[in-house]
Structure 1
């Protein structure tokens, strides 16, 4: 059973309409047989044929030479028998055409057809499923494309809105900057006007107070008295502090140590601070000890003591 099934799997499919064709062929042969039988019977009844036949030599023969006549005895003349009339026998009717009985259906063929039908149905279902999937994919792609278009439109709309907002903000910032610049210009103009008024007032006061000025004949200041020390004041301070410096080391060069000194109005030293080292620690310490030992600085020519005051000390001054 399995061998026949395997063989029929690769056999060509049976011709459709086989039973119908066989039935038509059987009917046509039956009709032909009836027609021939009726025709032969009609001819046999209507025609009676009588025929005569003579026998002749089938092969031509040459005549013999003429004989010398010899008297012979008279004999009886032979009578040639007549050829009997032969009546043709009636034609033998053709044998009846055997009717072809349709063979019973082969169960293997039916099973093969059922398999083919199921296979076609399965292929049809697969094709329908593929078509459905393809249509669904096309629908999803279309939906995705529409979503992308909507997102692009939203992004473009948001970009335009952001651009409008940024332009609006830039315009507002520019307006604020212009207002701020105008305000600064106004303040600067007011400040300049105040400075100009103060300078004018100072000029007036200077011109009215020149009589009470304390500067020398060559002085070129504008105040009633100088705020800085005189040219000889630094030398006087050095002369006061230098005797108190105790330093016996031999150093190369002439390094300077700068010290800031703060005093009270009467010249008493309040504090001192090394602002610039000479590079020689022993010299810096000797200068600071000498300032501490001095305690009080002399007054300037105008009776004032400048504070704070920066003094420079060198070993070979």
Structure 2
């Protein structure tokens, strides 16, 4: 079988019927329009109200059902979360800024306090140094005064000692002359001179001088006055410096030489108990 044999047969006069229906409807519309215009009247109209003898309650008006409220849009949770995160981040930044400012303020305060302490320490050290310098200066002045007083005292003592030694020397000379039977400054005519002879003094010094060990530099010629105590046999019992030469080394050298001599020669069989000798490096 072919496809043409399966197709249903076409309806006869379909187009003609549709055309007739359209014509009939058009005529009906024209008739209605003419009827409405023919009965129209432009005279004034009157209204009358009719009252019922028995009052009647009017039926309530039917109210239209309320329109449903629009459904609230669902919140965007993702946007809210993002806004919350941004707000939290902003708060975190503000907190960090506040913490940084507070930390900087504390650091500046600590630096200022450290600088103040350093200034106070420097001022205290300067004050202490000034006080120490003043005390040291006062101590130096006091030491100078003490040294000057000590030097003056020592000079006075040395002068007094020299005067005392000179008095002792003169006293010894008088005693020697007295023991020899003479008087000080006497011009008597005794058979024998009480003082040691000049030749004997030379022999005594001639025995002692070779024993003196002294490095003579030739710059000065100091004079040492030595008191020597002798026994009856001429033995040296002791010696001491009556008048220093100013050269302590020369004085010690003379005393050592006298000790080495041990015994001095007699003066015509006599030996004075005390004799005063003077020694110079160059005589």
TM-score where L is the length of structure 2: 0.41
